[in-house]
A and B are shown apart, each in its own frame.
Chain A
Amino acid sequence: MAEQLAIIGKRLPRVGAIDLVTGSAKFTQDIYLPGMLTGMVLPSPHPHANILSIDTTKALALPGVRAIITHQDLAGFPDALFTANAGPLKILDKTVFFIGDYVAAVAAESEEVALRALELIAVEYELLPAVFDAKESMAPGAPVQKSQWPWNVWNSPERGQPSLTIDKTKLTGGNVEQGFAEADAIVEQEIHTQAMLHAPLETDTVVTAWDGNGVFTAWTKECPDRMIGWLWPILSKVYGTPINKMRGICHNAGGRFGKHVDLRVLSMAAVLARIAARPVKIQGLRDNEYHWSRAISHSLVKMGGKKDGMLTAVQMKTVSNFGITHRMPGTEPRNIGRTPNWTWKCPNSSFENYGVYTNLSGTGSFRGFGSTQGHFAVSQLCDRLIERLGVDHLDFYLKNHADGGDWWEAQKQTPNGLDECILKSAAAIGWQEKWHEPGVRTLPDGRKHGLGVAIAVHSGGGCSIPGAAFVEVNKDGSVQLFAAGDETGQGVYTIEAAICAEELGVRYEDVRVTRADTESAPLASFSAHSQNTCNMGGAVQLAARDAKKKLLALAGRELGVTPDELEAREGWIYLKADPDRRIALSAVTAKYVGSGAVVDGKPIGCRLDGYGWYAQWENVPWTPGDPEGSLVPKTWMCHMVEVAVDTDTGAVEILNYVTAQDVGRAINLNTAENQLLGSTMMGIGFALLEDFIHDPQNGQGLNASYLDYKIPTHLDVPPTTAILVEPINPNSVFGAKGIGEGSLVPSAPAIAHAVYNALGLRFDSTPITPEKILKALGKVK
């Protein structure tokens, strides 16, 4: 019961906040090691070319250059793979596949020398034909990008076959043709979403070092355990490095949002440091930050429904532009494709996806992975269908959304809070009072008023990566928590500390969380798939429970009772039946820690410890072989937005924004609200501002800077109400869900609906810019 919780659900200061406001926090770019060299990478000027020759003689002769590597030096190295099915991508290859692709890398005494050395590397290229558009790349005669997929379509066994279909056992089934035949109205449209950049403030920076014993250390923005997992196949093959000689550190990451470490750059830094026998830092350049983006997607969606407002069929076919590689080529299509099926109680559903390789830079995971494209596409058709059927928006959403009933296997889930999200949002924004037909309301200042709503569902904590944690209680009652959840701004340390303190029964401020470092913490889950709250939180809870069991046994000896009569809370251990009979936890530790007293047959050493290992498949109902099935907690969102559109300038101003999310349980109100607000801001950027543009002639990214690629600023923040809905999830730590990604997803759909409601004009592609609006209004060509 909520009232029994001492720490969870409160508004407590973020762990590490003081470090951050004083400038003492150490981000990867803040690591300066004695003798550290500057590493730099030579980018390809061509979108597709063979390297005929590469001459580093002059560069190597330059004083201050310590190491240079090219593809010739890395012959025989394993490929750089994030996932087994990602397809080969060499660290350095004799062929370059996009403008900015890696040709060579240098380590030098200074930035100036490194830059000069890059200029001195002579490369002779043979230009090859290139293709940049996904549909062109699928067409016969397109230049082949990956020899194992000669039709440029990932996982496609033969030409014309999709990368992925979602079969009945997972999510899709029924008979869409029959569903459309039963429909009173059918809508169909192709919807496009743009390339979006993660654009974290801290660029992708790595620092690598080897010691004399062959121990490799890397400071990255990545989860240390994942970083090792990805790099170890390379270092073990090339240098025979065992895992116990690999150390990963990530104290703070300056935002990531799904932009994981570039394994090729990390590998180059490792090799350069090995050759030079000096630490190497490769600091990511802002104009290289585009090397991974959200995949451009084109989704042809068809939906049908009956006059009673019930959906009869949903069909979606998506073509995604993977660029030259995709980190997780199976996950993005699956996430796009599950959009209709996780969301709707629709009996007839089908989905197919084509993940297409081109000569653009790579793509991969991004906050709201796949769902962002999928929900934008599907919701645009939903809004049309609602209008055609003449039903009420909110009724439609309330009636049709999946509700945990016995529909598809994947919808058998814990209770969701979407109804509450919808109803509370409607009350907060004044939906009933403000709703009007499209295009009919003009504000006193001449702008058009619009109101929009969208719902969405996203993974609320993936199940894929288990985590572990150690808890140590010291003689003075203070607690160290060794849990290497990687802090990227979402507040994982804060959540871990709160869960530890609550479960163990100590004060929040008595817990210190060690920073992510494989030297001190056990194997961790990682900040991806919104899973750290559930997985690391689960591990921390089990570790704290393990330690608490010992504490209660010892306290029982002092109080003359059995452990099961006791409870611990905020530094006191007391009798449940008589809370006034109590002993300070620190009094127990002062007497027993280091005493050798035996609990459960084991002596208490100089610290009282606890260990926890958490894997979702051991803790929640699990469908064997289904990584995305019923057990994944799902987080639901409802966004409502009120806009004013200036028909002279095309400017969209958001007057009022309500972002509601089913969070399971908020572990910390501050960090939970900030996650909602931050995700929503990013969604606003996706909807209205952000568009990473490629030169159609050569695929070059044209606006990889904050001046040209507009992310939201302080002036773009609308008045926003964040509503946390807490249907406690019975299958996770304190009922929590992972919430970091979800609120990005319904932003663009809700804003697009509001713009439609203002103007009566549909926009089938994001972002909805003033230019597109003025074109639609016929005011510009």
Chain B
Amino acid sequence: MKEKTATEETAMIRFKVNGRPVEFTIGQQVMPWHTLVRTLRETLGLTGTKTGCNNGECGACTVIMDGKSILSCSTLTVECAGKEITTIEGLGDPINGKLHPLQQAFVEHDGLQCGFCTPGMIMQAKTLLDETPKPTEQGVKEALSGNLCRCGSYQKIVESVLAAGKALRGE
């Protein structure tokens, strides 16, 4: 049997999740085929990111990688080296627990029913508002069109995102 080389023994992967560094040994906590959603949920205990279809169809697993929204079910953990990942758990203020304006708006405008799609929906909306602080209603619909809500809360989700945009703009 071939002996392991020093490189293989120490194959590590480092990235940041919600501002904090994480480090895994590939082949131990993280296997090369592990998806990011699996690592987030099963290894890091961040179950706010949901697995809806596990196939890049529903958007429930949306997280932010270096400012862009990605589907964490379709991203391998080993692809995340050096990246900055933000999940729903990283959105509010960690010190005082204050909700992000998007979260606040979803509560106030009832932009959810069962809430299973909500973390992905909010993360997708965050990247939209980061890039386009004043989106149109149609712009919100297009940006969120890959995030499915079977409860059909779409109308109130759009209201929530538009309201959050206003709050973020200080209007």
Q: Is A727 an interface residue (CB 8 A)?
A: no
Q: What does DSSP make chain B's interface, helix, strand, loop or mixed?
A: loop
A contact residues around B148 at 8 Å (CB): 201, 706, 711, 713
* Most chain B beta-carbon neighbours within 10 Å: one of A23, A26, A200: A23
Which residue of B has the minimal Cβ distance to A677?
A: B155
B149 CB, min distance to chain A CBs, angstroms:
7
| Interface 9-residue window, one of B2-10, B74-82, B108-116 | B108-116
Which residue of B has the minimal Cβ distance to A27?
A: B116
A contact residues around B119 at 8 Å (CB): 21, 23
A429 CB, min distance to chain B CBs, angstroms:
17
Q: Is B29 an interface residue (CB 8 A)?
A: no
Give the residue of A19, A29, A257, A680 whose beta carbon is less than 8 angstroms from that of B50.
A29
Mark each residue of chain B from 74 to 101: 1 if its CB lies under 8 Å from any CB of chain A, else 0. 0000000000000111011000000100
Is there contact, CB below 8 Å, between A488 and B114? yes
A255 and B48 in contact, given A22-B88, A202-B114, A714-B145 (Cβ under 8 angstroms): no
Is there contact, CB below 8 Å, between B57 and A25? no
Q: Which residues from 107 to 163 on chain A have a C-beta closer than 8 Å to any C-beta of chain B?
A: none
Q: Is A50 an interface residue (CB 8 A)?
A: no
- State A200–B116 Cα separation when bound (angstroms): 9
- State A17–B153 Cα separation when bound (angstroms): 13
Is there contact, CB below 8 Å, between A705 and B151? no
B90 CB, min distance to chain A CBs, angstroms:
9
Q: Is A489 an interface residue (CB 8 A)?
A: yes
Is there contact, CB below 8 Å, between A257 and B150? yes
Give the residue of A23, A488, A675 whose beta carbon is less than 8 angstroms from that of B88.
A23
A contact residues around B46 at 8 Å (CB): 23
A contact residues around B49 at 8 Å (CB): 23
Mark each residue of chain A from 559 to 593: 1 if its CB lies under 8 Å from any CB of chain B, else 0. 00000000000000000000000000000000000
A14 and B107 in contact, given A489-B115, A711-B150 (Cβ under 8 angstroms): yes
Q: Is B17 an interface residue (CB 8 A)?
A: no
A706 CB, min distance to chain B CBs, angstroms:
4
Is there contact, CB below 8 Å, between A21 and B145? no
A502 CB, min distance to chain B CBs, angstroms:
19
Q: Is A415 an interface residue (CB 8 A)?
A: no
Give the residue of A203, A670, A674 whose beta carbon is less than 8 angstroms from that of B151.
A674
Is there contact, CB below 8 Å, between B53 and A286? yes
B contact residues around A78 at 8 Å (CB): none
Q: Which residues from 14 to 62 on chain B have a C-beta closer than 8 Å to any C-beta of chain A?
A: 41-42, 45-55, 57-58, 60
Is there contact, CB below 8 Å, between B92 and A714? no
Q: Is A513 an interface residue (CB 8 A)?
A: no
* Most chain A beta-carbon neighbours within 10 Å: one of B51, B109, B122, B158: B51
Q: Which residues from 697 to 740 on chain A have a C-beta closer than 8 Å to any C-beta of chain B?
A: 705-707, 711-715, 717, 720
Q: Is B171 an interface residue (CB 8 A)?
A: no
- State A33–B50 Cα separation when bound (angstroms): 17
Is there contact, CB below 8 Å, between B99 and A18? yes
- State A18–B46 Cα separation when bound (angstroms): 16
Is there contact, CB below 8 Å, between B114 and A255? yes
How many residues of chain B are within 8 Å of chain A by beta carbon? 56
Which residue of A has the minimal Cβ distance to B89?
A: A23
B contact residues around A286 at 8 Å (CB): 52-55, 57
Q: Is A554 an interface residue (CB 8 A)?
A: no
A201 and B52 in contact, given A674-B156, A678-B153 (Cβ under 8 angstroms): yes
Give the residue of B92, B108, B150 whose beta carbon is less than 8 angstroms from that of A201.
B150
Which residue of A has the minimal Cβ distance to B45?
A: A32
A contact residues around B118 at 8 Å (CB): 20-21
A contact residues around B141 at 8 Å (CB): 714-715, 717
Is there contact, CB below 8 Å, between B155 and A720? yes
A674 and B153 in contact, given A21-B118, A489-B115, A714-B144 (Cβ under 8 angstroms): yes
A contact residues around B48 at 8 Å (CB): 22-24
B contact residues around A29 at 8 Å (CB): 47, 50-51
Is there contact, CB below 8 Å, between A14 and B110? yes
Q: Is A610 an interface residue (CB 8 A)?
A: no
Q: Which residues from 173 to 222 on chain A have a C-beta closer than 8 Å to any C-beta of chain B?
A: 198-203
B112 CB, min distance to chain A CBs, angstroms:
6
Is there contact, CB below 8 Å, between A13 and B107? yes
A32 and B42 in contact, given A20-B112, A677-B156 (Cβ under 8 angstroms): yes
Which residue of B has the minimal Cβ distance to A26?
A: B47
Q: Is A224 an interface residue (CB 8 A)?
A: no
Which residue of A has the minimal Cβ distance to B102?
A: A21
B14 CB, min distance to chain A CBs, angstroms:
23
- State A682–B154 Cα separation when bound (angstroms): 11
B151 CB, min distance to chain A CBs, angstroms:
5
- State A203–B114 Cα separation when bound (angstroms): 13
Q: Is A681 an interface residue (CB 8 A)?
A: yes
B contact residues around A255 at 8 Å (CB): 113-114, 116, 150-151
**Which residues of B come within 8 Å of A, CB atoms?**
41-42, 45-55, 57-58, 60, 87-89, 91-92, 99, 102-103, 106-110, 112-119, 122, 140-142, 144-158
A-B contact pairs, 21 of them (CB 8 A): A20-B106, A22-B48, A23-B48, A29-B50, A200-B114, A200-B116, A200-B150, A201-B60, A201-B117, A202-B116, A203-B52, A286-B53, A489-B114, A489-B116, A670-B156, A678-B151, A712-B152, A714-B145, A714-B154, A715-B141, A717-B155
CB-CB nearest 3 A-B residue pairs: A23-B48, A489-B114, A681-B152
